[in-house]
Amino acid sequence: MAGQESSGGKKMEELEEWRLYEAYNELHGLAQEFDTPFDAPALLVVGHQTDGKSALVEALMGFQFNHVGGGTKTRRPITLHMKYNPECDTPLCHLLSDSDPSVSHEKSLQEIQVYIEAENMRLEKETCQFSAKEIIIRIEYKYCPNLTIIDTPGLVAPAPSRKNRSLQAQARAVESLVRTKMQHREFIILCLEDCNDWSNATTRRVVMQIDPEISRTVVVSTKLDTKIPQFARASDVEVFLSPPASTLDGFMLGDSPFFTSIPSGRVGFGPESVFRSNDEFKQQAISSREVEDLLALEEKLGRALSKKERSRIGVTNLRLFLEELLLKRYMDSVPSIIPLLEKEYRNSTRKLSELDQQLSSLNEAKLKEKGRTFHDLFLTKLSLLLKGTVIAPPEKFGETLQDERVNGGAFIGSDGLQFPHKLIPVSIYNAGMRLYGGAQYHRAMAEFRFVVGGIKCPPITREEIVNACGVEDIHDGTNYSRTACVIAVAKARDTFEPFLHQLGCRLSYILKRLLPIAVYLLQKEGEYLSGHDVFLRRVADAFNNFAESTEKSCREKCMEDLVSTTRYVTWSLHNKNRAGLRQFLDSFGGSEQSSIIGNSTSTGFPQDLSAASDNKQDVKSRTDVKLSHLASGNDSNMSTQTTETRLADLLDSTLWNRRLAPSSERIVYALVQQIFHGIREYFLASTELKFNCFLLMPVVDKLPAMLREDLESAFEDDLDNVFDITNLRHSVVQDKRQTEIELKRVQKLKEKFRYIHEQLNSQQAKFGQ
C-alpha cells in the first residue's frame, strides 16, 4: 500500500509538472505571437559557429533533427518546447505556422530538418541573411527533458581584412540578433566555450555585455573529448575543471562550468550515417562518451573525481541541472505571471470594445462628421504653428539653419557660391536654433534679405560696354545711357532670378513641414483619425498640392515684377542714389574741363595772353558747372567760344568717338551701379511683400475653403474610396477576430496558472504542517 501511495504521489507530481510546463509553453507562444511582455523562462543557447551549439541541443533532446555542419547552419532562432512523455517511443513533433502561430502541423523529424535547411538556404540568398523570427517546434519524447530551449545562430569572428567585408557584416548581424535575445531577463543563457584556457573569453565577451556578472548564465565547455589529450600535466586539468575565481569573474549559475562531449555522426540509414536510431545515439553513443570522458580525466589526474566534479561532467548531468533550474524558475515566476495575465486580459477586453465601437461608427453620416471635425482641427494646428507654439519638441521637429539649407536648399548666387554659414549673424537670425513653423519661415525670409541685400553689381568689362553700345537706327553715335541700361538690366536679371526660385523652394519646404508637425500635435491630444489612412493621405496630398501650386503662382507674380523692372528702366525708381551719382559726376565734370583746356591749348590756335587770362578766369568761374547741363545742351549761360569748344570736345569724346575713353567708362559704370541697386531694392521689397501676401496668407484664408471643398466633393462622389470603408471594415473585423482569439487564450492561461498557483500553495501548506 505504501508503495502504491508512493507511486501514485509520484505520478501526481509528474502530472502537476506537465501542467506547469504546458502552461509555460503556451505562455511563451502567446508572447511570441502577440508580442506581449510575459516573462516566460527559457534556455537561450549562445556560442560561436564551431562551438557545437546545435549538436549540444540535440544531445539534450535525445534525438537529431537540426541542420548540423561547418559554417553557418542556423539563420533563424529555433525555439524547442520539449516535454517528457515516457509513452512516446518516437519524437512527436508539431511545427507552428509562421503565418498563424496558433496553428500547428504535425511533422516528422525528416520533414522538420528539410524545413530548417530550406529556411537557411532561403535566408542565405537574401540581402539580410538572418531573421529574428523564431521557428517554434513542440516536441514530446521519452528522452526529452521538460525544457524550453532557443538555439541561436552561431557567432562569427571574421578576419579584419577588406576582402572579408561581407563576413564582417554577417558577424555584426548575428551578434545584434543574439544580443537582442539575451536582453530578455527571464532567459537563462547557456554560454558555450570551445577552449582549454578560460582566459580566452570568446563567447563570454558577448554574453557579459548583457549579463556582466553572468548571474543568469550557465557556462559550458564543449568538445571535452578533444581537450583531454591536450593536457600534459595533472595540474593543467585541475585548473581547467576548477578555474580560479580571478579567471571566471561573476556569479555564474551552478558556481562552475559544465563539460560535455557529443559523439560525431548522424542518425539514419544512408552510407554516411553512423547511428541507426535515436535510441542508439542516446543510450549508447552519448552515455558511452560520458563514461570514457570520466575515465580519461581520472587517468590524467591520477585520482578519482569527487562527486561535485562528476556532477559537472556530461550531457546527462547538464540536462538534470537545467531541468531543475528551469523548474525552480517556473515555480518562482507563477505568482508574478497571474497579475500580468490579468492586465493583458483587461487590455484585450478594452481593445475589443474599441473595435466594436469602431465597427459601429463605419456609416456615412459618422464618417463625414469625423472628416469635417478632423479638417477643422488640422487647420487649427496649422494656424497655431504659424503663429508660434512650443508644444512640438524642437529636438524632434526643429531645424537649424544648416539643416534647413541641406533639406530645403540654400541661397546660391549665379557664380555658384553659397554665402558662408559662419558669416550669418547668429544673434539676429537664430541660425543655430532648431525652429519650425512661423519662426522658421521668418528666419528664411530674413536670410533672403541679408544675402540678396548684400549683393553688389557684378564686374563690368570694357568689352561688355562696347558690345552694348551697338548702332542706333538713325545715327551711328553712342548712347551711353542706353548702354548703361542694357548692361544693368542684364546683370540684374541674371543675378536675382535664381534667388527667386530658391526662395520659393525654401518657403514651400517650410510650409510642407507643417503637415507632420500638425499630425504629431493631433496624435498627442488624441484627435488623430487612426485607421483612416486613405482619408489622411488625401488630406496630406491636398495640402502639399496647395502649397506647391500657391508657391508657383506667387513666384510667377514675383517673376512678372522682375521682368518688368529688367525690361524697361524707369528713372524714377532709381533716384535714391542720385545725390551720390551727382557728386561722382561733378568731380568727373571738373576733371573733364581741365582736360579740354589742355587739349585746346595744344591745338596751336592763336591765343594772346589776355585771351588765355580770360580762359583761366572762365574755367575758374565755371568749375561748378554740372555735367548734366552740358549733356542736355542747356547753354543759355554759356555764350563764350571757350564753352562751345569744351562742349564740342565732350561730344567728340562721348558721342562721335567709338574709342572708349576713361571718362565714358566711368559714366557707364556709375549709371549701371545706380540702376542695378535700384532694381535690387525694388526686387527685395516686392518679393518679400508678394510671398507674404500670396504664399503665407493663403494658408490662413484660402486653404480652409479649398480643403473643405475638396472633402465635400469627395464625400459626394465616392465616400467609400475616401475612407476605404470596405478594406477598413475587413481590417477591423480581422483585428477583432485576432483579439477574440488572444482573449480566449489569455483567459485559458489565466485559469491554468491560477490552478497551478493554488496547487503550489496547497503543497507548501502540507509541507508546513
List, in order, residues 6 or more apart from 18 with CB less than 8 Å away. Answer: 83, 84, 146
Q: How confident is the model at residue 766, as a pLDDT?
A: 55
pLDDT over threshold 70, residue 79: yes
pLDDT of residue 708: 84
C-alpha distances out from residue 169 to 70, 554, 638, Å:
19, 50, 92
Q: What is the spatial distance between Cα 241 and Cα 235, in angstroms, rounded to a whole number?
A: 10
* More reliable by pLDDT, 744 or 497: 497
Query: Is residue 12 scored above 80 in pLDDT?
Result: no
**With contact defined as beta carbons under 8 Å apart, do 154 and 49 qualify?**
yes
Q: Is residue 212 helix, strand or coil?
A: coil
For the chain, how many residues are written?
769
Bridge pairing between strands 78-84 and 148-151: antiparallel
Asked if 224 and 290 touch (Cβ cutoff 8 Å), the reply is no
Give dist(CA 201, CA 194) in Å, integer.
Answer: 10
Q: Is 433 exposed, middle or buried (0-12, 13-18, 19+ CB in 10 A)?
A: middle
Q: Which of 47, 318, 334, 62 is nearest to 181 (CA)?
A: 47
Each residue of 300-344: pLDDT tens digit? Answer: 999 999 998 999 999 889 988 988 887 787 777 777 777 878 888
Q: What is the mean pLDDT of the chain?
A: 78
- DSSP H helices, 602-640, are 609-621, 627-632
C-alpha cell belonging to residue 698: 493663403
Q: Residue 463 and residue 288: Cα distance in Å, rounded? A: 102
More confident residue, 288 or 371: 288
Mean pLDDT of 581-596: 48
Mean pLDDT throughout 339-352?
Answer: 84
CB count within 10 Å of CB 281 equals 23
Could you tell me if 25 and 148 are in contact, meaning their C-beta atoms sit under 8 angstroms apart? Answer: yes
What is the average pLDDT across 289-297?
91
Q: Which residue has the higher pLDDT, 688 or 364?
A: 688
| Pairs from 344-347 (Cβ < 8 Å, separation ≥ 24) | 344/36, 344/38, 344/746, 345/743, 345/746, 345/747, 345/750
Q: Is 159 helix (H, G, I), strand (E, B) or coil?
A: coil
Strands (E), 52-103: 78-84, 92-96
Q: Which of 82, 81, 110, 105 is nearest to 94 (CA)?
A: 105
Local structure of 105: helix, strand or coil:
strand
448: its cell numbers: 533672403
- pLDDT tens sequence across 521-579: 988 887 777 666 777 888 888 899 999 999 999 999 999 999 998 888 877 666 655 55
Check: CB of residue 313 under 8 Å from CB of residue 290. yes
* 109, 65 Cβ separation under 8 angstroms: yes
Mean pLDDT, residues 483-505: 92
What pLDDT is recorded for position 480?
78
- For the chain, first and last CA: distance in Å? 23
Closest CA to 491 of 591, 552, 415, 407: 415
Q: H or E segment at 463? A: helix 462-469
Q: Which pLDDT tens digit goes with each residue over 254-274?
A: 788 999 998 877 777 777 777
- For position 295, what pLDDT does the model report? 93
Grid cell listed for 220: 559550458
Vertex 485: Cα angle to 480 and 490 (nearest 5): 130
All 3 cell numbers of residue 81? 518546447
Residue reference for cell 515566476: 333
Is the pLDDT higher at 623 or at 244? 244
Task: For the chain, count helices (H), then strands (E).
Answer: 28, 9
Residue 763: per-residue pLDDT: 58
Q: Answer yes or no: is pLDDT of 598 > 80.
A: no
Q: What grid cell was written down for 130?
A: 538572418
Q: Is the pTM of this model over 0.95?
A: no
Query: What's the Rg (C-alpha) of the chain?
Result: 45
> 187 to each of 43, 51, 117, 184, 339, how far by Cα in Å?
6, 20, 26, 6, 20
Question: What's residue 344's pLDDT?
Answer: 81
Angle, CA of 282, 287 and 289, to the nearest 5° = 115
**To the nearest whole percent, how much of the chain has pLDDT over 70?**
75
